[in-house]
Amino acid sequence: MPKMPASVRLVFVGIWVIFAASAAASPASPRERLQFPDTVKQSPYSTPAKVWKDFDPRREHMDVETTWAGTEAGIAYREFYFTGETAKGVPVRVYAMFGAPADAVKLPAVLHIHGGGQTASKLWLTFWAKRGYAAMSFNWGGRWENRTEFTRWGALKQGNHLDAIPGPVARPNQRTSSWYHWAVVSRRCLTYLERQPEVDPKRMGIFGISMGGTLVWPIAAFDKRVKAACAIYGNGWDTNPASKHEPDPAEADPDTQFWRKTMQGEAYAPYIRCPVLFLSSTNDHHGKMDRGYDTLARMRAENRQVFTPRYRHHIEPEQGTALPLWMDTWLRGAPKWPKSPSVKLLIGADGVPALVVVPDRAKEVTRVEVFYALQNTNPVSRFWRSAESHSSGTRYTASLPILDPNHRLYSFANVFYKSGLCLSSNLAEMVPAESGAARATDVPDLLIDGGSTDYADWYQTAAYTDPVDTFKYLRSALGPDGVKGFGLAPRLGQVIGISTHKVGDPKWRGPAGAKLTFQVLSMKPNVLEVACVERDFVVGMKTFKAQVSLTTAANWQTISLSHEQFSTESGEKLAGWSKVEKMELNSPRWDGEMPLFAMFRWER
């Protein structure tokens, strides 16, 4: 795989800064004694509705300047600048692109809102034009390294992503925040769209990626021109801890609480009247899975959720198809979707927890995949086990063996339909010991992964963010002696980056004193970095690394590592396996044929 570009690596930077700042805060008093300072209490923007009450996205002249136009493969494109807003007498000149089938009129239209570090995308214009849509993509992030075309923010320096004001902005008021101005220019894009002859202004939708997904919520809430929306990864709760079961360091901070009340995505959800799709991955660091369900629960409008299991900031093709199908339904009159599958956790007659799945339109279902996770309250680092489901009429049931009835249990299902649609259920949660005569029937296993599931428990660490691509990263193959291994697809270049959260599951957690062993097939000498991560992608995260030198060999090479061989960049040694939540296999440039990995286990 080629090195991940900076634009993709930094999709989440802005939100991560905000979260880290809030998590580092020290609460001064219990929330019930919280007192807002006068500057906050007197703010004219005390609700989301008041933040946007007097904003008119059509008011200002757009002053469009086309810099390029052309037709390629039957699609007409143009690049241009327009005025997004004016501050201190200086216009904000927004860089944008537009595309549509040549000579088309009155088409449904879609606005793409890019993620952090990204920019306007011609690839998305082509994607939508091939489906018979007009589409617009623009740059809100401003100046960036090696970027020649971008939005000139003028006097609003904070409009540049690199200059964005970190943390909640409650003073002098929320309209000084970067997020407000990014939403302003997004809504101005809808004004441009509705005025184009190629566009039917009554059939416009929006979708946003990561930070762009965060922007979807205020736009969909207060711009009635939006008839369908899809938030990808972004779901609000940006200043909250990843786990709902952890203390909130900012609970007594008045500025943060005011920001949450008026500017975060979850505050906008109740105002939305158009249908919304939330598309994400179970382990995403930006839009935490559990919080996504909380945001959707606040909505009055129709909504659905679709999750790719085990990945972070990546949508697999099976789930990515939901985006265009969602727009087809609401903007082109395609058949309406089934309702979200319902699920319920219960304790079976044998004492084993089980998930019961009841999908809508059961006759159209092709398969049901059930996933469950144990003990870990942090959605970013959970390991999602697979559980086989069995159908009985219109219901599917999956047994969920556990090691300890006191471990918190999470479960959901993905239901697949003949149309190609994948729908995720609600998230079910319980502590089995509190819900009946639950029994522990599972046992720890020293074999982490022997290939029986085609290594589906692993994921490509830096997988593509936008669901506009459709390729798969991982492959399984037979190596020497008929041993099944796995690796990355050869087309992806020479960078190795593969991860799993399986070692954080209590079933596969490393015992004290055990060594991590596995096999590698390397046709040339190479250096492999093995990393173990504690508190994955939350405050206090630590990464311990060990270097492995590989020789040229036509057969499997066996690697054995003790925890003492892992250390941080500062020299801190890994104390043991008990707090490890993730394991990574890395190499910045692999020499020769892509490697295979196999037979991961703990040896005492």
Separation between Cα atoms, residue 75 and residue 99, nearest integer Å: 7
Is 3:464 a contact under the CB 8 Å cutoff?
no
Give the type of residue at 443: V
pLDDT per residue over 521-560, tens digit each? 999 999 999 999 999 999 899 999 999 999 988 999 999 9
pLDDT in the model for residue 170: 86
pLDDT in the model for residue 166: 80
Strand-pairing partners, residue 209, are: 232
Separation between Cα atoms, residue 156 and residue 419, nearest integer Å: 46
Mean pLDDT of 221-232: 98
Above 80 in pLDDT, residue 126? yes
pLDDT per residue over 429-473, tens digit each? 999 999 889 999 999 999 999 999 888 999 999 999 999 988 889
pLDDT in the model for residue 436: 81
Strand-pairing partners, residue 110, are: 135, 205
pLDDT in the model for residue 13: 42
Q: CA of 281: how far to CAs of 212, 288, 444, 467, in Å? A: 16, 9, 27, 11
Above 80 in pLDDT, residue 492? no
Nearest to 22 by CA among 167, 206, 189, 205: 167
pLDDT per residue over 495-531, tens digit each? 999 999 999 999 999 999 999 999 999 999 999 999 9
To which H or E segment does residue 329 belong? Answer: helix 322-332
Above 50 in pLDDT, residue 33? no
SS (H, E, C) 470-492: CCCCEEEEECHHHCEEEEECHHH
Tell me the CA end-to-end span of the chain in Å, nearest whole number.
Answer: 35
Least confident of 31-40, 254-263, 265-274, 463-472: 31-40
Q: How confident is the model at residue 37 (pLDDT cuts 50, 70, 90)?
A: low
Separation between Cα atoms, residue 590 and residue 525, nearest integer Å: 9
Above 60 in pLDDT, residue 68? yes
Q: Which two tokens stand for residue 20?
A: 């880290």
Above 70 in pLDDT, residue 5? no
Mean pLDDT of 237-255: 92
Domains observed in the chain: 49-332 (3.40.50.1820), 342-434 (2.60.40.2140), 447-603 (2.60.120.430)
Strand-pairing partners, residue 135, are: 99, 110
pLDDT in the model for residue 40: 62
Length of the chain in terms of residues written: 604
Separation between Cα atoms, residue 510 and residue 581, nearest integer Å: 11
Cis bond upstream, residue 270 (ω within 30): no
pTM of the model: 0.93
* Neighbour order of strands in the sheet with 459-460: 459-460, 496-500, 580-587, 526-534, 542-550
Q: How confident is the model at residue 39 (pLDDT cuts 50, 70, 90)?
A: low
pLDDT in the model for residue 165: 84
pLDDT in the model for residue 15: 40
Nearest to 10 by CA among 97, 114, 93: 114
Mean pLDDT of 187-195: 98
Return the beta strands (E) in 161-262 as ranges: 199-209, 226-232
Average pLDDT, the chain: 92
Q: How confident is the model at residue 23 (pLDDT cuts 50, 70, 90)?
A: very low
Separation between Cα atoms, residue 16 and residue 23, nearest integer Å: 10
Nearest to 470 by CA among 487, 455, 456, 491: 491
Q: Which of helix, strand or coil describes residue 227?
A: strand
Separation between Cα atoms, residue 133 and residue 200, nearest integer Å: 10
Phi, psi of 318 (to 5 degrees): -60, -30
